[in-house]
Amino acid sequence: MNVQVRPQRDQWTGLLQRPELDNTKLEASVKKILQDVKEKGDEAIFHYTQQFDGIAINRLQASQQEINEAISTLPDDLKNAIQLAANNITAFHKKQLSVPEVIETMPGVLCWRKSIGIEKVGLYIPGGSAPLFSTILMLAIPAKLAGCKEIILCSPPGKDGKLHPAILYAAQLTGITKVFKTGGVQAIAAMAFGTASIPKTYKIFGPGNQYVTCAKQLVQQYGVAIDMPAGPSEVCVIADDSCVPAFVAADLLSQAEHGPDSQVLLVSPSEEVVKNVQQELKKQLAVLPRKELAEKALQNSKAIIAKDMQEAVELVNTYAAEHLILSCENDEAIAELIMNAGSIFLGNYSPESVGDYASGTNHTLPTNGYARMYSGVSVDSFVKKVTYQKLTKEGLHQIGKAVELMAEAEGLEAHKNAVTIRMK
């Protein structure tokens, strides 16, 4: 990690810059794949699965027999762990459901708002170097609670042409409608446009590499919604003298192992803390199976020694991290000062990993600074909020004159007349 000692405020922007990629060529190739799938459907998906994954498949949907056989191979202890996580995620997200409240804004004028589940949603689950079955829980559970009628899932198959058993178990556990064996840009295109096998969806959720992210952003031009802009995973840790350096190093590495474009950031008012964490990083990195990926991520990462805790908080608010860990005294008081973060983990015994898997909060979060204006996925992400109003005859007479005057002032005579004709 690159260590910066008490940088001046005018240096912050450069220091907190995420790794940037030149997307010019990437976007051109993504557009071509999107267009091919739009025009050729399943044929294009088979072609690109062969080209990019080296797998020849002739059926996209996973059969129930295939699902049952895969699930039977999954160890019971892992099934139990997934079930525990699903229970916690359900408990947390169920409390996000709201009951419509009718507001009488004036006598005889009733207004309310109701949440209606998006009918068709598509979930993208990466399955390359790490099959992210935990993301199925994070997306399918709130989708089901929201009342989405059709929830489909796309995930790239392994070299044997099959999906990881844990992906299929999580899909069945959460009530996903259909599971398809395809990944990458072609999967996003299929869910955006629809093919003979894969239904068109109205909103697409889920993480992915830079190609998947680019595809999600581009399909918005065709009237398809996405969960949020997304980039590589990231974590920021504020640590003071009360932290346990080994814990902090472990948290930093838990994000660094995602891939070379991930970024981790350590902010501390203590030079001693940064020094001790650096030593722990070397020790723990040496035995990591994904050591090479983590090492590359650490090259893009920084440890910043702040003047004091107040400056550390200001710096972190400027960064707007996806995950923010407060390994410091008065963590709850400091958390109240944080304005920009996707999810916050308080104290020495709240590793970011628990939020990734099983505490109950959602791990699908805004990255790349989007935590300044975006929230993580919740039940709200899977609903539309429709407003209603009902007026009695007396209610219309109460409000009618004001509407007539406003419509007339805007030069919209037909708007005025829609009220006047009823008033008469």
Q: What are the pLDDT digits (tens) for 393-403?
A: 999 999 999 99
Half-sphere exposure of residue 195: CA atoms within 13 angstroms, side-chain side: 27
Q: Do 218 and 30 meet the contact criterion of CB atoms below 8 Å apart?
A: yes
The domains spanning 24-226 and 231-375 adopt the same CATH topology? yes
Kindly report the CATH class assigned to 24-226. Answer: alpha beta
- Domain assignments of the chain as residue spans, ordered by start: 24-226, 231-375, 392-423
In CATH terms, 231-375 corresponds, of 3.40.50.10170, 3.80.10.10, 3.40.50.1980, 3.40.50.300, to: 3.40.50.1980
**pLDDT value at residue 141:** 98
Tell me if 363 is assigned to a ligand binding site. Answer: no
**Is the pTM above the cut of 0.95?**
no
Retrieve residue 253's tokens. 């590495």
pLDDT mean across residues, the chain: 94
Q: Establish whether 322 is a catalytic residue.
A: yes
Each residue's pLDDT tens digit, 205-238 = 998 888 999 999 999 999 999 999 877 889 999 9
Tell me if 389 is assigned to a ligand binding site. Answer: no
Strands (E), 118-156: 120-124, 150-155
Tell me if 221 is assigned to a ligand binding site. Answer: no
Tell me if 268 is assigned to a ligand binding site. Answer: no
Name the catalytic one among 280, 322, 352, 363.
322
Where residue 383 falls among pLDDT bands split at 50, 70, 90? very high
Tell me if 254 is assigned to a ligand binding site. Answer: no
Cα separations in angstroms, 265 against 70, 292, 300, 333, 372: 39, 18, 9, 21, 17
Residue with tokens 């220091």: 15
Mean of pLDDT values over 154-166: 92
CA–CA separation, 352 vs 350, rounded Å? 6
Mean of pLDDT values over 323-348: 97
Q: Establish whether 323 is a catalytic residue.
A: yes
> Has residue 333 got a pLDDT over 80?
yes
CA–CA separation, 1 vs 277, rounded Å? 10
Contacts within 8 Å (CB) and 24+ apart, 57-61:
57/157, 57/161, 57/181, 59/181, 60/180, 60/181, 60/182, 60/197, 60/198, 61/178, 61/179, 61/180, 61/181, 61/197
Any idea which of 145-159, 169-183, 288-302, 388-402 has the lowest mean pLDDT?
Answer: 288-302
Q: In the chain, what's the furthest Cα-to-Cα distance?
A: 83
Name the catalytic one among 93, 164, 323, 363.
323
Tell me if 350 is assigned to a ligand binding site. Answer: no
